[in-house]
Amino acid sequence: MAKSDDCLHILQGLLVFGNVVIGMCGIALTAECIYFVSDPNGLYSLLKATENSDIYAAAWIGIFVGLALFALSILGIIGVIKASRTLLLLYIILMVITFAFEMASCITAATGQDSLTPELFQKKMLERYQKSEPANNSDREVTKTWDEFMLQNHCCGVKGPSDWQEYTSAFRVTHSDADYPWPRMCCVLDAKGLPVNLDGCKLGVSGYYNSNGCYDAISGPVSTHAWGVAWFGFAILCWTFCVLLGTMFYWSGIEY
Amino acid sequence: QLGYKPELTREPPLEGVTTASTFVLDQPRCVFTDYGNADIWLVVALDQAASTFNNSEGPGTAATAFQSFPDPVRAYMTLNATLGSYPCPKRDGDITVLRVGSETSCAQDTTRPTCNGPLPHPGPYRVKFLALQGSEPVAETAWSVPITLRQAKSPDSIPTTGSGHSAGMIAITTILSILFAILLAGLVAMLVFWGSGSCSGSSAFSKPEAVSVRRYNTHHVYDQPAARL
């Protein structure tokens, strides 16, 4: 009897420890996803314009899954200590449901990250930036977002100002090539928002215009975001899988 | 005829050296030094019309008006300047360029035939500088090499087919699907065996119930002290 008592205590201890880790990871996942959803780099509108905001959906799911994991881990700890069959059955069923949601979130984040290419951004930007007619609200939103982004990050276009030269665009329809080889936002601006040297900017003299593309400024944070959600979620799920298997084993051994 | 050949600006490197309707030339510094009184004009011609250009065509006439370029006028004259605009020698650090095609305001204005308007199609074009004294051509440079402008493609030509799935995404999907399947199988097994005997032996873990032991006071206990006495 002593030996199975020891086994019992060890398994209980392991399961409690497993649940504590799940609870803490759940809180960490919630915090991380709240950080991403709060969008410190102002990327959400850009991604929405390219119809690629799956990563934000994955982060939203992550917030709720994290809270659910925390709550369920407490339920699990109580169930293990009291060795109650009903509590543990409820725990396992709810955990499997949470597992399914978190799985959806991870896969969405990983897929969303894969589908982000510079070409996609280029195409959407050329089609919608400064589109004058018909201009609906979302086109104005796209223009405003790109302007703010280019101003803040000192960049121009997706791959560079040559985007505006290599391809025709909605911008080109209303702005002649001789006056605006690229948008004014690509010029180095002074405190009042006017180009420091308009001719220098139009010619493309380095120092008076932003020669680098914005794609790096976009893809860096988005990659971190997507990998944070996808791979951290994956790690939590692997751990949860082990704890759930242990709980199922424990449950099946409880005397009724 | 002078040996100088006009060319596109290479130093400093300019992003906009050619755009869809403009191009940038080096200024002809230290080229027309012997012609201090002359007006220096830029002649822009279609590639095929360069050899047939007549230097006596005056600037500002209907035959060289920008607004009629490229049809019927096949070469126009613009960017009038005197030698004072092109001081020699060139100061270090100055950017000395001429942007052909920068004046958009007069592109349709027939009263300004010497307008430096944007070029209507990608070309190719050839240019040369012509010095006129009065209306007499006194010097000219050689024709430049043919200059072709940039042509813009439609954004529909940008390939946006997916870049395929990365290894990470495939790994996540397969592993999580397998784990989820195992969990579901375990859950189903649990529900099926609920109530019936468990797999791992029924007496493996017992409920840690508080077992209360009632003390039985029997006669024997009370009898003991009596027996000793």
Residue A1 scores a pLDDT above 60: no
Residue B209 scores a pLDDT above 80: no
Q: Is the peptide bond before B113 cis (omega within 30 degrees of 0)?
A: no
Beta carbons of B132 and B114 less than 8 angstroms apart: no
Residue A228 scores a pLDDT above 90: no
pLDDT of residue A17: 95
pLDDT in tens, A97-154: 999 999 999 999 988 888 888 888 888 888 888 887 767 887 888 888 888 888 888 9
Residue B32 scores a pLDDT above 90: no
pLDDT in tens, B130-165: 888 888 888 888 889 999 998 888 888 888 776 677
**Across the interface, which of A4, A96, A244 has its CB nearest the CB of B204?**
A4
Beta carbons of B159 and A119 less than 8 angstroms apart: yes
Give chain B's domain count: 1
The residue among B9, B11, B172 with the most chain A CBs within 10 A of its CB, best to mutate, is B172
Closest CA to A250 of B136, B59, B90, B207: B207
- Please compute the mean of the pLDDT values over residues B43-52 and round it to a whole number: 86
pLDDT of residue A96: 94
In a domain, residue B159? The reply is no
Closest CA to A205 of B12, B101, B8: B12
pLDDT of residue B203: 46
- A176–B104 CB contact, under 8 Å: yes
Q: How far is B196 from chain A (nearest CA, A)?
A: 9
pLDDT of residue A20: 96
pLDDT of residue A3: 60
Mean pLDDT (chain A, rounded):
88
Residue B90 scores a pLDDT above 90: no
Closest CA to B131 of B46, B43, B45: B43
Domain containing B55 equals 23-151
Beta carbons of B142 and B2 less than 8 angstroms apart: yes
Q: Is the peptide bond before B120 cis (omega within 30 degrees of 0)?
A: no
Q: Which residues of chain A neighbour B176 with C-beta distances below 8 Å? A: 103, 106-107, 234, 237
CA–CA distance, A211 with A240 (Å, rounded to integer): 48
pLDDT of residue B36: 76
**Across the interface, which of A120, A181, A255 has its CB nearest the CB of B16?**
A181
Beta carbons of B100 and B43 less than 8 angstroms apart: no
| Higher per-residue pLDDT: B90 or A194 | A194
Question: Per-domain residue ranges for chain A?
Answer: 1-116+222-253, 118-213
For residue A42, give every residue at least 6 positions away whose Cβ sits within 8 Å of its Cβ, in sequence order, or none: A145, A148, A149, A152
* Sign of the dihedral defined by the CA atoms of residues A141, A147, A153, A157, in that order: positive
The conformation of residue B57, written as its DSSP 8-state character, comes to: S
Determine phi and psi for B79, rounding to 5 degrees. 55, 55
**Across the interface, which of B163, B168, B180 has its CB nearest the CB of A99?**
B180
Determine phi and psi for B216, rounding to 5 degrees. -95, 120
SS3 B164: coil
For the question of whether the overall pTM of this predicted structure is more than 0.80, the answer is no
Residue A212 scores a pLDDT above 70: yes
Per-residue pLDDT band at B198 (split at 50, 70, 90): very low
SS3 B2: coil
Beta carbons of B1 and B139 less than 8 angstroms apart: yes
Per-residue pLDDT band at A256 (split at 50, 70, 90): low
SS3 B102: coil
CATH, domain range A118-213: 1.10.1450
The residue among B179, B182, B200 with the most chain A CBs within 10 A of its CB, best to mutate, is B179
In a domain, residue B196? The reply is no
If residue B133 lies in a helix (H) or strand (E), which one and from where to where?
strand B125-133
Residue B202 scores a pLDDT above 50: no
State the residue for tokens 């995404």: B169
Give the pairing type, strands B97-100 and B75-82.
unpaired
Per-residue pLDDT band at A252 (split at 50, 70, 90): confident
For residue A67, give every residue at least 6 positions away whose Cβ sits within 8 Å of its Cβ, in sequence order, or none: A26, A30
pLDDT in tens, A158-197: 998 988 888 888 888 888 888 888 898 888 888 888 888 8
For residue A115, give every residue at least 6 positions away whose Cβ sits within 8 Å of its Cβ, in sequence order, or none: A52, A54, B162, B163
In a domain, residue B69? The reply is yes
In a domain, residue B74? The reply is yes
Q: How far is B15 from chain A (nearest CA, A)?
A: 4
Residue B199 scores a pLDDT above 90: no
**Across the interface, which of A169, A202, A252 has its CB nearest the CB of B155?**
A169
Beta carbons of A81 and A16 less than 8 angstroms apart: yes
